[in-house]
A and B are shown apart, each in its own frame.
Chain A
Amino acid sequence: SQQGEEDPQALSIQEGENATMNCSYKTSINNLQWYRQNSGRGLVHLILIRSNEREKHSGRLRVTLDTSKKSSSLLITASRAADTASYFCATKGYSTLTFGKGTMLLVSP
């Protein structure tokens, strides 16, 4: 069953702008991960944040995690047309990785 719920479902921005996607979940987790999927092909792992971490950076990506609110956000700074994709948050309990519904990001040149 799906646990994460992303917000917004779709986001359209111009190149150079920042994109923020939010994820809420329902049960306790060990970590939360973000993935990107281009054109319905394979998913690419972007970043993992553990339950005892509050913020993590990787290149143009910044992820925050608030376990008290059961929510996470992914910020992509200085977006590029190549960032156009679907973005999924995924929560990891002990053994299974469960994906949210995803946010479709469109970055226009």
Chain B
Amino acid sequence: DTEVTQTPKHLVMGMTNKKSLKCEQHMGHRAMYWYKQKAKKPPELMFVYSYEKLSINESVPSRFSPECPNSSLLNLHLHALQPEDSALYLCASSQDGLGGQLYGYTFGSGTRLTVV
């Protein structure tokens, strides 16, 4: 299995809802990442998990809450989001861990989130 799987592919949620995005990889990758991408913009890093521990939080608002239950799973819990949080949320993993320099990232196809 050489993929990163993200579910759901599309999500529409109200500003008072609580929802979760899920990301899964079975490649044994040691680091996993959440990126946010607005339309016609590059991806921006949100969180980095290395060996299932949160290593980097790029000053993301607390309405986004990441969780790494095990080495294959990464969740992003969403609560009280704003319309400006509408974006494509991308999960990625890398083979050689946080400080690795040999391999690129494997990205999932993303969850397109719309906050209404």
Q: A: which residues have CB within 8 A of B?
A: 2, 30-31, 33, 35, 40-48, 50, 88, 92, 94-102
Q: Does B90 contact A (CB under 8 A)?
A: yes
Chain A residues contacting B55 (CB-CB under 8 Å) are: 95
Given the known interface contacts A40-B88, A45-B105, the answer about A2 and B98 at a Cβ–Cβ threshold of 8 Å is: no
Q: How many of B's residues come within 8 Å of A, CB to CB?
A: 29
B111 to chain A: closest CB distance in Å?
A: 10
Q: Does B48 contact A (CB under 8 A)?
A: yes
A63 to chain B: closest CB distance in Å?
A: 12
A95 touches B104 (CB 8 A): no
Chain B at the A interface: mostly helix, strand, loop or mixed? Answer: strand
Given the known interface contacts A50-B101, A95-B98, A96-B56, the answer about A43 and B45 at a Cβ–Cβ threshold of 8 Å is: no
Chain B residues contacting A99 (CB-CB under 8 Å) are: 42-44
Q: B: which residues have CB within 8 A of A?
A: 4, 6, 33, 37, 39, 41-45, 48, 55-56, 88, 90, 92, 98-99, 101-110, 112
Q: Can you name 19 A-B pairs with beta carbons within 8 Å? A: A2-B42, A30-B101, A31-B101, A33-B105, A40-B112, A42-B107, A43-B107, A44-B107, A45-B107, A46-B104, A47-B104, A50-B101, A88-B43, A94-B99, A95-B98, A97-B33, A99-B43, A99-B44, A101-B41
Given the known interface contacts A96-B48, A97-B45, the answer about A45 and B39 at a Cβ–Cβ threshold of 8 Å is: no
A98 to B44, CA, bound (A): 7
